[in-house]
Amino acid sequence: MLALLLAWIVVAAVIKNSYFIHMLFMATTYALLACALNIVVGITGLANMSQAAFFGIGAYTAALLATKFGAPFYINIIAAAVVSMLFGLAVGAPTLRLKGFYLSLVTIGFAQVLRIIEINWVSLTNGPMGITAIPGVSIGRYLFSKKAYIFYGLVVLLIILYVTKRLMASKIGRALSAIKNDEVAAKSLGINITYYKVLAFAMSSFFAGMAGSIYAQYTTFVSPDSFVQNDSTTLLCMVILGGSGTLFGPIFGAIVLIFVPEILRFADMYRLIFVGVVMIVGILAKEGQWFAHVQKFFKDRLTSLIRVKSGNREGAV
Amino acid sequence: MEELLKVENICVSFGGLQALSNVSLSVDKGEIYALIGPNGAGKTTLFNVISGFLAPTSGKVFYNGREVQGLPPHKLTPIGISRTFQNIRLLPNVTVLDNVRLGHHIRLKQNMADALFNSRRFREEEEKSIEDAREILRFVGMEKYENEFARNLPYGHQRKVEIARTIATNAELLLFDEPCAGMNSAEKVGLSELILEINKELKRTVFLIEHDMRFVMKLSEEITVLNQGQCIAYGTPEEIQEDPDVIEAYLGVGRKGGQE
Ligand SMILES: Nc1ncnc2c1ncn2[C@@H]1O[C@H](COP(=O)(O)OP(=O)(O)OP(=O)(O)O)[C@@H](O)[C@H]1O
Ligand SMILES: [Mg+2]
């Protein structure tokens, strides 16, 4: 995992081509969103189909703060996170008693309502035209280059991973996974199911809001078309493909589903078929746990390599 | 004897089906109380009411003198009611130790900040929780399996782990729904010894549902018999064994059941 991160940083540092920079930025952003979504989908086992909507709320919040008040980036990102989380609470609290696909339907509905608001509340959102000329991130006199946003995103990604890892090792994480595994058992142990579901939802939308803020300042432009249902679905696919509930899996899901369609761009519309096949094969491959196996594969190679080396010295394998 | 649990005129109906009608009973602190009755008598339904999984259509439940019917399980577990399920509900892909540790959920004081910053309180609490869970596993004789996934354990062991988990909640009243269903007679003997120890050494009140009459006769001090949602008898094991209504409604069925 560390190797991947290093590779990511190195690639980000050396690439010059603005198209590659853009792709890598998008991969970072989607990795972020997928990891955030993983808290709800992977760890708690809830079907949230509106992650892109929270991403959008964050982006709009940051866009408005930056254009109207010239707020600095750290205010933007925190405000974006908080506003998105408040929406998460508002949607989650009344609906998280719903099960399975009822919940998916409600979240889809929420995303649609939000999109209609984005389009029609012209005085706030500038309607379908979107908000343009959003100032980029600047620290002192240094204005972020496009490349710098990749690192900005990576820092936030690391924060999400850290938070997720810590929580998974705590009472909170255990409660969330108990809910996913067996809600009735979780209930019988005194776990307040609704509270923890809402908490997971709030955390996920909090981080999605952060991603939105980074994205808005990177592209300098947000419009209702930037955050559509398709994006939510793609994010869900990333989590599931990478191995839902694993810490790093969603990152791999994001990489695959960002780059594969790009690589296949020559195939025009047929590439979507390939993406579908990748999804199906990937999920069938190890019931979504393929990444864990790949990781284990490399780890085993690595340890046997090290063992052989030290074995030469000590005369034992 | 001081009264711990009191069930008063509980009625539950599912649509047209009257699953419980006017069921009343009272369980004293420190005893082993049994609820028996043929299939579909409403035993599990009564447990669901007591443990907060089901609000009764009418009637009252008192725990330690406090009216608790209709409260959700997450309010009842902290005040001292914990249960097992007729069809074991362990988390299959979680280790035995962590399954038991889930029982600690309500008493862990750690908050999100403790977890994020790995605070001293967090570390101490986690260590203590692991210690305590190990001790409970030793008590039920499952310490060897602490790192096994629950799904890999044989049925009888899973039962014990589920019981261990209720002990971990520190609840005073433990509700066991058919704890020895599906066990062979040697396992049953082991389990009844365990339940006695839980009662005597850990000083927990045990309220259990059972099909196997012999099992209940040896273990419990008081018995209530349910049939078709109604209490048809109440008394000591000796009284129950001789009650003609019980013999008609239950023992016939029990013998047949015993042949399986
Ligand atoms: N949630 C429910 N909805 C509808 N009917 C139910 C529900 N739960 C139980 N019943 C019905 O209520 C009656 C009592 O069921 P219950 O499970 O309490 O019986 P039991 O005494 O535990 O039987 P067993 O020995 O088979 O476990 C049965 O007829 C059952 O079908
Ligand atoms: Mg039952």
* Per-residue pLDDT, B258: 40
* Per-residue pLDDT, A271: 67
B252: confidence class by pLDDT, cuts 50, 70, 90: low
Q: Average the pLDDT over B203-225 and give the result.
A: 89
Report pLDDT digits (tens) over B116-166: 898 889 999 999 999 999 999 999 999 999 999 999 999 899 999 999 999
* Per-residue pLDDT, A286: 54
Indicate if the pLDDT at residue A18 is higher than 90.
no
B33: phi then psi, degrees, rounded to nearest 5: -115, 140
* Per-residue pLDDT, A200: 93
A190 chain-B contacts, CB cut-off 8 A: 73-74, 76-78, 105-106, 169
B256: confidence class by pLDDT, cuts 50, 70, 90: very low
Question: What percent of chain B clears pLDDT 90, i.e. is strictly above it?
Answer: 70
B260: confidence class by pLDDT, cuts 50, 70, 90: very low
Indicate if the pLDDT at residue B235 is higher than 60.
yes
State how far the Cα of A266 lies from the Cα of A114, in Å rounded to an integer: 34
Report pLDDT digits (tens) over A199-236: 999 999 999 999 999 998 888 888 787 777 778 888 88
B257: confidence class by pLDDT, cuts 50, 70, 90: very low
Q: Which ligand is nearest to the CA of B15?
A: 1
Residue of A nearest to B166 (CA): A189
Question: What percent of chain B clears pLDDT 70, i.e. is strictly above it?
Answer: 95
Task: Give, for B83, the enclosing helix (H) or strand (E).
Answer: strand B81-83
Which of B12, B44, B51, B87 is the pocket-test mutation for ligand 1 (most atoms within 8 Å of CB)? B44
Residue nearest to atom 25 of ligand 1 (CA): B39
User: CB of B230 closer than 6 A to ligand 1?
Assistant: no
Indicate if the pLDDT at residue B180 is higher than 90.
no
Indicate if the pLDDT at residue A52 is higher than 90.
no
Indicate if the pLDDT at residue B251 is higher than 90.
no
Report pLDDT digits (tens) over B11-44: 999 988 999 999 999 999 999 999 998 888 999 9
A293: confidence class by pLDDT, cuts 50, 70, 90: low
Residue nearest to atom 7 of ligand 1 (CA): B14
B196: confidence class by pLDDT, cuts 50, 70, 90: very high
Q: Give the nearest partner residue to B51 out of A162, A169, A188, using CB atoms.
A: A188
State how far the Cα of A75 lies from the Cα of A176, in Å rounded to an integer: 30
Report pLDDT digits (tens) over A113-157: 888 888 778 777 777 777 777 777 777 777 778 778 888 999 999
Give A170's DSSP letter.
S
State how far the Cα of B35 lies from the Cα of B16, in Å rounded to an integer: 24
Q: What is the ipTM of this complex?
A: 0.89
What's the gap in Å between the CA of A300 and the closest CA on chain B? 22
* Per-residue pLDDT, B149: 94
**A2-to-A5, A203, A299, B88, B118 alpha-carbon distances in Å:** 5, 25, 12, 40, 22
Contact B77, A190 (CB under 8 A): yes
Domain boundaries, chain A: 2-227
- What domains can be seen in chain B, in order of their start residue? 1-80+171-260 (3.40.50.300), 87-170 (3.40.50.300)
Residues A88/A91/A92/A94 CA torsion (nearest 10 deg): 150
3-state secondary structure of B164: helix
Indicate if the pLDDT at residue B203 is higher than 50.
yes
* Per-residue pLDDT, A305: 67
Ligand 1 atom closest to the Cα of residue B46 is 18
Residue nearest to atom 16 of ligand 1 (CA): B42
B79 chain-A contacts, CB cut-off 8 A: none
* Per-residue pLDDT, A189: 95
Report pLDDT digits (tens) over A68-89: 887 788 888 998 899 999 999 9
User: CB of B42 closer than 6 A to ligand 1?
Assistant: yes
Q: Is A170–B115 a contact, with Cβ atoms under 8 angstroms apart?
A: yes
Q: Which of A46-50, A277-281, B81-85 has the highest mean pLDDT?
A: B81-85
A7: confidence class by pLDDT, cuts 50, 70, 90: confident
